[in-house]
């Protein structure tokens, strides 16, 4: 019943992963992407109300935005494991930008209908990039908590 002579182990700081630039950049990009997604969600609902489409269509905009996450979650996870995640993220972000540009053009032309808004709500979703980022962030965070440099993450 002696007192343990080992010094108390230092508990790793939860802020340590932020010291790794790649992890910090991905985290900031993810937060910015989430804010943009929330803004898009509010904008889509607001536009649907502005089109005088009714409460059913407003509710369907949320369904159209969330449905791809349920439908594409497993295939997106498999694709994220097969292909280069960074290229996949870049492709999906370019895809989302293209959809946003087309939607902007349709809106400025005055041709946006509730049905088109629902269709673009479906294609706006970005589940592949979101699922592809999780293993990258988790791997870098795990190494950072151990105080190590991530060997797979230094690109």
Task: Assess whether pLDDT exceeds 60 at residue 6.
Answer: no
Q: How far apart are CA 72 and CA 100, in angstroms?
A: 20
Task: Assess whether pLDDT exceeds 70 at residue 129.
Answer: no
- Summary mean pLDDT of the chain: 76
Extents of the domains making up the chain: 19-144
Task: Assess whether pLDDT exceeds 60 at residue 1.
Answer: no
Share of the chain above pLDDT 70, in %: 77
Q: How confident is the model at residue 128 (pLDDT cuts 50, 70, 90)?
A: low
Q: How far apart are CA 141 and CA 152, in angstroms?
A: 12
pTM of structure: 0.63
Nearest alpha carbon to residue 93 among 44, 36, 12: 36
Task: Assess whether pLDDT exceeds 80 at residue 63.
Answer: yes
Q: How far apart are CA 9 and CA 11, in angstroms?
A: 6
Question: Which tokens is 65 given?
Answer: 């935005």
Task: Assess whether pLDDT exceeds 60 at residue 85.
Answer: yes
Q: How confident is the model at residue 56 (pLDDT cuts 50, 70, 90)?
A: very high
Secondary structure of the chain in the HEC alphabet?
A: CCCCCCCCCCCCCCCHHHHCHHHHHHHHHHHHHHHHHHHHHHHHHHHHHHCCCCHHHHHHHHHHHHHHHHHHHHHHHHHHHHCCHHHHHHHHHHHHHHHHHHHHHHHHCCCCCHHHHHHHHHHHCCHHHHHHHHHHHHHHHHHHHCCCCCCCCCC
Give the least confident one: 6-10, 56-60, 116-120. 6-10
């Amino acid at each position: 019943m002696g007192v343990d002579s080992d010094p108390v182990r230092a508990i790793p700081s939860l802020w340590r992963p932020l010291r790794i630039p790649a992890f910090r950049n991905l985290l900031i990009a993810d937060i910015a992407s989430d804010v943009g997604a929330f803004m898009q969600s509010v904008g889509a609902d607001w536009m649907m109300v502005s089109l005088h489409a009714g409460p059913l269509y407003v509710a369907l905009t949320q369904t159209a935005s969330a449905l791809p996450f349920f439908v594409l979650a497993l295939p997106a996870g498999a694709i994220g494991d097969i292909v280069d995640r960074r290229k996949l993220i870049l492709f999906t972000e370019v895809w989302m930008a293209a959809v946003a540009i087309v939607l902007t053009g349709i809106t400025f032309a005055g041709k946006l209908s509730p049905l088109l808004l629902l269709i673009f709500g479906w294609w706006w979703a970005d589940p592949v990039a979101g699922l592809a980022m999780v293993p990258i962030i988790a791997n870098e965070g795990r190494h950072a908590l151990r105080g190590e440099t991530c060997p797979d993450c230094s690109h």
